[in-house]
């Protein structure tokens, strides 16, 4: 979930996936759907997982038009909103923050994300025209917001167990810069390998290594993406197969395993998730999970039209989480859209 590229419930059985296309050893993952226990939950997007399997994400619950922060701790679901963050729309009715988004969770119960500035009384406007700040929750309790030294938006995206937060912000020219934040101190952290590039930091592990994506201008107003690891002493571009384009890194664990999403030159209209384990690149394709879900509805057979898998989080045990959006047509040529969250467990 970014300014240029925002991170983009139902199967009882699990399916296998995992294809190594770079490296020496094949990695096998078992995929299983994440099913909310609360039937009022809609449009759930899981964005992070801790080593003790706490899940964090975002959802709509019931009929109220706003995002809830979704937490599942020891199997118990919890729903949070940012306090004092209600807005008045043009009709004068109260509404929850439309664009509150939880991004990451550590192993100590700390959740970070971003939301519109809570103390503003501005009328409802779209996401990109409202000032955005980072926020911190501890064990589901709101701790406050953080804002980079810029008059524009701040996005908190990851946090490690020492409480160091990473993210990115917009400057006055709407250029993206990375940062880390600890003890109320911001450290600006940009990808500097290519002049003119913009930086989006997505996650930080307990060694202080940050993962992110650089947006490198190509001269026609568009960008190429360069995923990277930023260690304390150097910055390393992520090793990826040569046929990948527009790759975005979204998460990292203590073993420098990185997750994210990409497209290939062979299938440029199909988004696939991945886990990169120190040079071993494994495709995470959750289309089988979506297919099982849609076929359970009956009225098949179904034909796949489009699918997109995104890996959004990975814990220190190597368990990844994410979501898949897939479109099918049924036997009567009606369109069926499936949105499924999943865990991907190695071994």
pLDDT at 14 over 80: no
Q: 3-state class of 274 per DSSP? A: strand
Assigned domain for 72 exists: yes
Residue 162, pLDDT > 90, answer: yes
For residue 155, give the CATH number of its domain: 2.120.10.30
**In a domain? residue 8:** no
What's the whole-model pTM score? 0.87
Q: What is the mean pLDDT of the chain?
A: 83
Asked if the model's pLDDT at residue 108 lies above 50, the reply is: yes
268, part of any domain: yes
Number of domains present in the structure of the chain: 1
In-domain check, residue 6 = no
**For the residues 139-148, what does the mean pLDDT come to?**
87
Q: Secondary structure of the chain: what % helix, strand, coil (to 5)?
A: 5, 50, 45
Backbone φ and ψ for 51, nearest 5 degrees, come out as -65, -25
Domain enclosing residue 174, as ranges = 14-346
Burial of 149 (0-12, 13-18, 19+ CB in 10 A): exposed
Query: Is residue 2 included in any domain, yes or no?
Result: no
Please check whether residue 331 is in contact with residue 281, taking contact to mean a CB–CB distance below 8 angstroms. Answer: no
Residue 9 pLDDT exceeds 60? no
- The 10s digit of each residue's pLDDT in 304-320 is 999 999 999 999 999 99
Tell me if 25 is assigned to some domain: yes
- Do the domain assignments include residue 5? no
Q: Does some domain include residue 3?
A: no
């Amino acid at each position: 979930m970014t300014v240029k590229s925002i991170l983009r419930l139902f199967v009882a059985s699990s399916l296998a996936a995992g294809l190594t296309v770079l490296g020496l050893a094949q990695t096998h993952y078992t995929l299983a759907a994440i099913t909310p226990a609360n039937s009022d939950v809609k449009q759930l997007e899981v964005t992070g997982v801790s080593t003790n399997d706490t899940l964090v994400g975002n959802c709509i619950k019931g009929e109220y038009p706003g995002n809830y922060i979704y937490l599942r701790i020891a199997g118990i679901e919890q729903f949070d909103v940012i306090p004092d963050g209600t807005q008045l729309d043009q009709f004068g009715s109260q509404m929850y923050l439309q664009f509150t988004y939880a991004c990451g969770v550590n192993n100590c119960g700390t959740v970070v994300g971003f939301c519109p500035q809570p103390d503003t009384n501005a009328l409802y406007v779209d996401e990109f025209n409202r000032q955005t700040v980072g926020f911190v929750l501890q064990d589901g309790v709101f701790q406050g917001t953080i804002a980079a030294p810029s008059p524009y938006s701040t996005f908190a995206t990851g946090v490690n167990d020492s409480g160091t937060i990473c993210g990115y912000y917009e400057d006055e020219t709407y250029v993206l810069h990375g940062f880390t934040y600890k003890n109320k101190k911001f450290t600006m952290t940009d990808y500097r390998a290519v002049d003119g590039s913009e930086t989006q930091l997505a996650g930080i592990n307990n060694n202080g290594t940050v993962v992110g994506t650089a947006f490198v201008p190509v001269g026609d107003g568009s960008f190429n993406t360069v995923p990277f690891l930023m260690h304390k002493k150097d910055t390393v571009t992520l090793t990826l197969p040569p046929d990948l384009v527009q790759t975005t890194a979204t998460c990292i664990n203590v073993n420098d395993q990185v997750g994210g999403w990409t497209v290939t030159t062979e299938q440029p209209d199909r988004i696939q998730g991945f886990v990169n384990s120190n040079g071993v690149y494994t495709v995470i394709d959750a289309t089988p999970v979506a297919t099982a879900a849609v076929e359970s509805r009956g009225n098949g057979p179904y034909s796949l039209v489009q699918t997109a898998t995104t890996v959004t989080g990975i814990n220190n045990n190597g368990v990844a989480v994410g979501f898949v959006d897939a479109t099918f047509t049924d036997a009567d040529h009606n369109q069926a859209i499936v949105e499924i969250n999943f865990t991907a467990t190695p071994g």
